[in-house]
A and B are shown apart, each in its own frame.
Chain A
Amino acid sequence: DGGITQSPKYLFRKEGQNVTLSCEQNLNHDAMYWYRQDPGQGLRLIYYSQIVNDFQKGDIAEGYSVSREKKESFPLTVTSAQKNPTAFYLCASSNRPYEQYFGPGTRLTVT
């Protein structure tokens, strides 16, 4: 079964702690993306990576970090510097122009 997995589905953290969200794909896609969704807003791009060992900042990268050591994996770390970390986080991948395929998402709640 090919697809994108994100774990866990729900994540709770205390303010001031860093947290890493997992994203794995077995679609053999080169490009991977991280978005966040807030109520009443569209999906906003955090980081993206077109090939292994390379990634670029999206529109709202402050307070986040990523790595792309393997083609299949693109973990996102939400650092304590992110002022409003509570959100729904979505990972996506793509192997052709434009169309992206999304994982099921992780809802992060920071209190």
Chain B
Amino acid sequence: DQQVKQNSPSLSVQEGRISILNCDYTNSMFDYFLWYKKYPAEGPTFLISISSIKDKNEDGRFTVFLNKSAKHLSLHIVPSQPGDSAVYFCAASGEEGGATNKLIFGTGTLLAVQP
């Protein structure tokens, strides 16, 4: 059973507009969430994270929102740039108290930013 779900396989937005990528999770024990960005044939790179004690974390053009009651998080990219075109993975951790540092990944959303 998929504990971390990204229901949109792809998203297309115009350059300069907002990109919103969504992620849902089922395990209420998760206490830390991360977003990774991945280009083809490369390893994922860490983008931004949020602890379950917060509902928002911002880093430049990237903001992650967490709604614990809905078990939902989202990544906002404003303004979107063509270089943001990549696959974005949502990941969650904490079901074992973080001791093992295990991450559970979603299936990814391919973002295409059109010039």
A48 touches B100 (CB 8 A): yes
Closest CB of chain A to B104's CB: distance in Å?
Answer: 8
Chain B 1-28 interface 0/1 with A at a Cβ cutoff of 8 Å (1 = within): 0001010010000000000000000000
* Interface range for B: 20 to 34
SS class, residues of chain B in contact with chain A: loop
**Which residues in B have their C-beta under 8 angstroms from that of A9?**
41
* Interface range for A: 20 to 34
**Which residues in A have their C-beta under 8 angstroms from that of B106?**
42
Closest CB of chain A to B80's CB: distance in Å?
Answer: 23
A90 touches B43 (CB 8 A): yes
A42 touches B105 (CB 8 A): yes
A94 touches B101 (CB 8 A): yes
Closest CB of chain A to B57's CB: distance in Å?
Answer: 13
Chain A 71-111 interface 0/1 with B at a Cβ cutoff of 8 Å (1 = within): 00000000000000000101010100111111111010000
Closest CB of chain B to A99's CB: distance in Å?
Answer: 6
A52 on interface, CB distance cutoff 8 Å: no
Closest CB of chain A to B107's CB: distance in Å?
Answer: 4
A99 touches B34 (CB 8 A): yes
List residues of B (54-105) whose CB comes within 8 Å of A's CBs.
Answer: 89, 93-94, 98, 100-103, 105
B89 touches A42 (CB 8 A): yes
A99 touches B46 (CB 8 A): yes
A41 on interface, CB distance cutoff 8 Å: yes
A105 touches B41 (CB 8 A): yes
Contacts beyond the supplied A40-B107, A104-B43: 20 A-B pairs with Cβ under 8 Å? A6-B43, A31-B101, A40-B9, A42-B106, A44-B105, A58-B102, A90-B43, A92-B43, A94-B101, A98-B34, A98-B98, A99-B34, A100-B103, A102-B36, A102-B43, A102-B44, A104-B41, A104-B42, A105-B42, A105-B43
